[in-house]
Structure 1
């Protein structure tokens, strides 16, 4: 497998040896591509990784609490049923 830092070094070497006009076109294309991607992504309803991780933790805690409550309800139902018998 290729080393990512080596790939980065090769890309920099290729970039540094490009004619200036081609570099300008590439820079302009990259800038416009980033702008279009950012605009399209902002139109979508994405959340940041940080927000996703926070909500995942909240969901885990909620599931744990739900399991505890289900166990308590089952225990109370069993007690009620045993008292009625």
Structure 2
């Protein structure tokens, strides 16, 4: 989920960019519409935050380590079974 501060900041920058034209319009209305548009766009993009990405990366790393350990254990057991009479 995108942080609301990012959306707010982008909306503010966009409204400043349009400040010359926004004098004719209600600047708060423009800001609210831009904020809504940006939030909707980010929601559709299915973007995750850096914190979420790093957390999932750590989970994946731990899972990979466990799988590798289990593969070694399976190989050892398989070798023992092959040596047994």
TM-score range (shorter-chain normalised) is 0.5 to 0.7
**RMSD across aligned C-alpha pairs, in angstroms?**
2.8
CA distances 1:60-82 after superposition (whole Å, capped 9, x unpaired): 00000000000000000001001
Which residue of 2 is the match for residue 33 of structure 1? 34
Unaligned runs of 5+ in 2: 1-15
* Counterparts of 2:58 and 2:43, CA distance in 1: 25
Instruction: Tell me what 2:72 maps to.
Output: 71
How high is the TM-score relative to the length of structure 1? Answer: 0.59
- Structure number with greater Rg is 1
Q: RCO higher in 1 or 2 (8 Å CA, sep ≥ 6)?
A: 2
Unaligned runs of 5+ in 1: 1-14, 16-20
